[in-house]
Copies of this chain bind each other. A is one copy, B any other.
Amino acid sequence: MARIRAAERRAELVAAAVRVIAAHGVDGATTRRIAEEASAPLATLHYCFATKEVLFAAVFEYLAGEYRDVLNRSDVHSDVQNTARGLLRGVLEWYLENPDFGATILELISWGQREGEQAEVVYASAFATMRTILEGTTTAAGRPVSSDMIDQLIYVVSALSDGFALNWLVFTDIAAARVQMELTVGVLDAWMAANLGGAAPSTQPVEITTEPDMRSLVSWVHVD
């Protein structure tokens, strides 16, 4: 029972940390704020997690787990093109539905990089998850997909979803994001069509029916 209580406390704290990081950034995520968000005394936080670093590592693992679940849920068990498209779309929609997660992940990237060690382990499994899913596929024409091509696919899906996430994080315009989602999937499709054989994408080309605020199509990263 006490064990369960402790595990619950830990989970609450991790969830609170996600929210606080999303709202205040890594540097604004103080132990006090996190404890308060979790309605826990400050000392309890350090009772559950020896160190802030340890807590953040747990947040890290939690988000990684969610990410893996999303990937697995998005596996459509089809040919490589449909599968890759499904993975991409699944990730994008996940970002859309959980804005906190995207923000927190972005915040933790640089933190994780500086921390270094513990992240390495996690990278491999991330790679493994996508790879495992894609290795079970063939092209629409039934040909097997080369290992190299899978790596390239993983990179493209990854880069596109990261780019999308950044935009969605910065602008919060849901309408623009939905358009960008279709556009993003279209980019993947175009690349796969050119590199995985001629099958036309099964999704329609982007049709912007609503006229969203086009300005927000552009990430502010491209500042001048």
Contact = CB atoms under 8 A, between A and B. Distances in A.
Range, interface on chain A: 35 or more
B187 A68 contact: no
Given A105-B221, A158-B222, A219-B159, A148 B214 contact: yes
Interface string A130-166: 1000000000000000011001101111111111111
B155 A167 contact: yes
A11 interface: no
A63 B194 CA distance: 35
Nearest to A180: B155
Interface of A: 24-28, 60, 63-65, 67-68, 71, 91, 103, 105-107, 109-114, 119, 122-130, 147-148, 151-152, 154-167, 169-170, 180, 183-184, 186-187, 190-191, 193-195, 205-206, 208, 214-215, 217-224
